[in-house]
Chains A and B, each alone.
Chain A
Amino acid sequence: MAKISVKYTFIILFLILLSGIFVIILSGKAPKNLFCALDIGTHRIPLEMIDLFGQDTIGQTFKPNFDNLFKISVFISTKGATPDARVVFHLRRADKREDIFRKELTVSELRPQRNNFYLIGPDPVAAEGFHYHIQFSPVTGIKDKKLYFYFELLDKKASGSVRLGIWRSNYYESLREGELMINHAPQKGSFLAFRTYNTWNKDIKDVIRQIKARLLIDKAFFVFYAALLLLIIACLIVNVIAVKRLNR
């Protein structure tokens, strides 16, 4: 018995030590906001690409299913493009002209991002290209509102190509409304290969409030469920006591 205790104590201490080392190594590297959920989009590799260098703008309209949009990724390929050619990313409401977010990028910056806290999951760098992620401060009050993002080429004389993945289909994953936009004109039945990500930045009280509200939607079930659990726990306690008595 004593041997077993020593063995398990060692294992537990080792695990605590390991967790400590892990926390120290990663301290300061994890972002302040840990939350990231995929809303619209797919991990599949698009079959078709469209060249931004042949157009003025290429973009996509979409309706977020949740609030707090903070990241958009687009399937992109920059093979052979002039490295210092400039591209601008715009995000705005579909019905407005001013940008919610604007970012200027050079082609050399458009490369696969590694060691990113949010970039877990099947996000491959394929021969056709990769998903480039653009992060910004969470945008609130946009649930069910139509948004529009697009890429604009600044240097018209740049050579090579910056190509964006597109899907031609009658649907796009979790996208209720929106389509591919070329030079601000909608292209029916086509979608940019993109993904949108939402974050969560409320307090723990909100979690409790939300869970409580959801549990109380179906009060009859909640009462039945709680009673069933309590009954089984009571049976377990009675049984454990009986086992102890028998052992004595």
Chain B
Amino acid sequence: MKRQILSWTFIGLIIRLLVMPFSFHGHDIFWIYYAPFKFITQGAWDPYLHLSQNFPGLHYTYYAPFLFFIISLFLFLFQPLLPDLSRLYSVFETWNYTFTGNTIHYASIFSGMQLFRTLFIFKLPFLIFDFSIGAIILSLLKSRPKERIAAYIIWMLNPFILHSCYAIGQVDIIVTFLVMAALYCIYLRKKKTACVILTLGVLTKTMPILLIPFAIILLADSFREGVKLSIFSAVTFLTLIIPFMISSGNLVFNSFFFFGTGSSSLRQVFFMISYALLSFFYIFTRKKGPADFDFIVSAFIIILLLFYAFYVVTLRYFIVITPLLIYISMKNKKFWWYGLVFLIALFELKNFDTTVQWGLFSPLYPEFFSGLPIMDSFLNLKIDVRIIHKLMYRVFFAASLIMCAHLLYYNRKNFNFQKFMPWQKSA
């Protein structure tokens, strides 16, 4: 079995290496390294202050503080292998803050600046988080040898990771790793560590904030323990936030408000209502005693699916749920079908543009790859592709809600409905 895992590790590594140096999207990966670059070269340790002072008209800020520290550490370690970034970032500043170029422009202007090497090294840290998630999946399925291998193979070939992490160059793999690490701690019954890691996830990219209340509800055996776990989370959060608050006031909080774009306020209200209802449902109906691990994984999946269905879904945000879907599908094969539907619906819905398909490979030849047609170009000759996209969103939405209901049913033994049905007690 170890040999088999090793073979798939090599296959996964080869696929990732083939994509890493030759693709990126827009300004994403250069922006991720921009603030750490300023920190290492100019000592600008507070990116929020630096950006607000130097680019006051900018309508967005840098990512949350923990990501800033992680990327700074990697940049510090890998700097000797990188070309001179000051030239690259000087051009980047001109384009990013004045012309807002796209992939085709950055690929063209950076082509003479050892772009392949830069992209390769910029994406190297992702491999660590990616393969660590693979290791966690293997550990969680230790008792099921067949499923363990299948889950690992799927992780190695996970199209969401290959697209969003290695082709686009986004950092959601780090958040995914932190969520999985927290779940592994829950598996080992290390509740406090789990809450701390989930909070670090929030300090990387906001999304895990949705999971923390549920983690506390499901992990705490008593109200007192719940308060203790909340304090651990709060202390972790404040420890990292306070230095930035002292330095630049509330600017740091802007880094947490970035993912609301594109969703209507009605959908946001629906999400908040469903989230609140679900919280009450779990608080009042879950059976006393330590929660089953699969029950917690299912709860996390339900929350994330509601978030994607009602609030916002992109391929990169969806990465966070993929290891959880793989895990739960190994426990019950019926859940596979949902994964398949999500894959088809989201790749059609969210790959609407050349820039997120062939255009990603613009570093190899900008004019050629950015201009290549995609499947939608051909479909559009016969049918308005926006209709297909709307249909795909509805398919995704319906599949998400059905899966939520299915998961609640799957975990029905963990709920206690009897206290709401006194007639059953007397019967």
Contact A37 B367 (CB under 8 A): yes
Nearest CB of chain A from residue B61's CB, rounded to whole Å? 18
Q: A107–B5 Cα gap in the complex (Å)?
A: 65
Contact with B along A213-240 (1 / 0, CB 8 A): 0110110011001001100110110011
A136 within 8 A of B: no
A89 within 8 A of B: no
B224 within 8 A of A: no
Interface residues of B, count at CB 8 A: 54
Q: Which residues of A contact B18 (CB under 8 A)?
A: 229
Name the interface residues of A182-231: CB closer than 8 Å to any CB of B.
198-200, 207, 210-211, 214-215, 217-218, 221-222, 225, 228-229
Pick from A2-10, A26-34, A147-155 the stretch touching chain B.
A26-34
Contact with A along B96-131 (1 / 0, CB 8 A): 001111101100100110111100100000000000
Contact A37 B370 (CB under 8 A): yes
Contact B372 A34 (CB under 8 A): yes
Name the interface residues of B194-244: CB closer than 8 Å to any CB of A.
none
Contact A174 B7 (CB under 8 A): no
Pick from A46-54, A75-83, A92-100, A113-121 the stretch touching chain B.
A113-121
Nearest CB of chain A from residue B6's CB, rounded to whole Å? 5
Nearest CB of chain A from residue B175's CB, rounded to whole Å? 26
Known: A120-B376, A120-B385, A225-B120. A214 touches B111 (CB 8 A): yes
B374 within 8 A of A: yes
Q: Which residue of B6, B101, B352, B382 contacts A174 across the interface (Cβ within 8 Å)?
A: B101
Contact A235 B354 (CB under 8 A): no
Nearest CB of chain B from residue A131's CB, rounded to whole Å? 14
Contact A171 B99 (CB under 8 A): yes
Q: Which residues of B contact A73 (CB under 8 A)?
A: none
A1 within 8 A of B: no
Interface residues of A, count at CB 8 A: 56
Nearest CB of chain B from residue A190's CB, rounded to whole Å? 16
Name the interface residues of B373-387: CB closer than 8 Å to any CB of A.
373-374, 376-378, 380-386
Contact B374 A229 (CB under 8 A): no
Name the interface residues of B236-289: CB closer than 8 Å to any CB of A.
none
Cβ-closest chain B residue relative to A235: B10
Which among B98, B364, B381 has the greatest number of chain A C-beta atoms within 10 A? B381
Q: Which residues of A contact B352 (CB under 8 A)?
A: 120-122
B14 within 8 A of A: yes
B359 within 8 A of A: yes
Q: Which residues of A contact B373 (CB under 8 A)?
A: 30, 34-36, 117
A173 within 8 A of B: yes
Nearest CB of chain A from residue B310's CB, rounded to whole Å? 21
Contact A225 B367 (CB under 8 A): no
A142 within 8 A of B: no
Known: A37-B371, A173-B99. A239 touches B10 (CB 8 A): yes
Q: Which residues of A contact B114 (CB under 8 A)?
A: 217-218, 221
Nearest CB of chain B from residue A237's CB, rounded to whole Å? 9
B4 within 8 A of A: yes
Which among B105, B114, B371, B372 has the greatest number of chain A C-beta atoms within 10 A? B371
Contact B17 A215 (CB under 8 A): no
A167 within 8 A of B: no
Nearest CB of chain B from residue A198's CB, rounded to whole Å? 7
Nearest CB of chain A from residue B119's CB, rounded to whole Å? 10
Which among A30, A68, A217, A221 has the greatest number of chain B C-beta atoms within 10 A? A221
Contact A120 B353 (CB under 8 A): yes
Contact A232 B367 (CB under 8 A): no
Q: A240–B17 Cα gap in the complex (Å)?
A: 20
Cβ-closest chain B residue relative to A199: B371
A246 within 8 A of B: yes
Contact A117 B378 (CB under 8 A): yes
A88 within 8 A of B: no
Q: Which residues of A contact B353 (CB under 8 A)?
A: 120-122
Contact with A along B347-366 (1 / 0, CB 8 A): 00000111100010001111
A65 within 8 A of B: yes
Known: A26-B382, A117-B381, A171-B99. A35 touches B368 (CB 8 A): yes
Contact B378 A218 (CB under 8 A): no
Q: A81–B113 Cα gap in the complex (Å)?
A: 52
Cβ-closest chain A residue relative to B374: A120
Q: Which residue of A36, A211, A221 contacts B120 across the interface (Cβ within 8 Å)?
A: A221
Known: A34-B372, A38-B102, A239-B3. A68 touches B367 (CB 8 A): yes
Q: Which residues of A contact B385 (CB under 8 A)?
A: 120
Nearest CB of chain B from residue A193's CB, rounded to whole Å? 15
B169 within 8 A of A: no
Given contacts A39-B104, A214-B116, A243-B7, 14 further A-B contacts (CB under 8 A): A22-B378, A26-B378, A30-B381, A35-B367, A36-B373, A37-B370, A38-B370, A116-B381, A170-B98, A171-B99, A210-B368, A214-B115, A221-B120, A232-B10
User: Can you list 15 residue pairs at the A/B interface with Cβ under 8 Å?
Assistant: A36-B371, A37-B371, A39-B105, A65-B104, A114-B384, A116-B381, A120-B353, A170-B98, A211-B364, A214-B111, A214-B116, A217-B112, A221-B114, A221-B117, A225-B116
4 closest Cβ pairs, A-B complex: A35-B371, A236-B10, A37-B370, A37-B371
Interface residues of B (CB under 8 A from A): 3-4, 6-7, 10-11, 13-14, 17-18, 21, 57, 83, 98-102, 104-105, 108, 111-112, 114-117, 120, 352-355, 359, 363-368, 370-374, 376-378, 380-386
